[in-house]
């Protein structure tokens, strides 16, 4: 529990990369229990923009604090793609 941030989950990136501000899904026992935004991304004590696969990091989420050991965090980015007419 960190002052001004709240709870920070200790994580390891297993696929791809994680970027601060990404959308997140918190999954417990194969059920999505929270969907929101990644508010804090840390490596050691430093706030960072992204973390690569294989690295450990700390994550905190906007308006959600009930993380538990074994939870899976999916991070994703929503992109708007301009539709074209063929």
pLDDT tens track for 45-85: 889 999 999 999 999 888 888 888 899 999 998 888 888 88
Helix (H) or strand (E) holding 48: none
CATH architecture of 9-76: Beta Barrel (2.40)
| R_g of the chain, CA atoms, integer Å | 14
pLDDT attached to residue 5: 58
pLDDT tens track for 1-27: 555 557 888 899 999 999 988 999 999
Query: 30-42 burial, b if ≥16 CB within 10 A, otherwise e?
Result: eeeebeeebbbbb
Residue whose C-alpha is closest to residue 67's, from 46, 39, 45, 47: 39
Task: Judge residue 51's burial from the number of C-beta atoms within 10 Å of its C-beta, 0-12 exposed, 13-18 middle, 19 or more buried.
Answer: buried
Tell me the three-class secondary structure of 3-35, residue by residue: CCCECCEEEECCCCEEECCCEEEEEECCEEEEE
């Amino acid at each position: 529990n960190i002052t001004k941030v709240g709870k920070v989950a200790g994580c390891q990136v297993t696929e791809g990369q994680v970027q601060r501000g990404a959308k997140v899904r918190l999954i417990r026992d194969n059920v999505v229990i929270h969907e929101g935004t990644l508010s804090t991304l840390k490596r050691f004590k430093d706030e960072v923009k992204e973390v690569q696969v294989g690295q450990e990091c700390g994550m905190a989420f906007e308006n959600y604090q009930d993380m538990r050991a074994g939870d899976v965090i999916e991070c994703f980015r929503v992109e708007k793609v301009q539709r074209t007419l063929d």
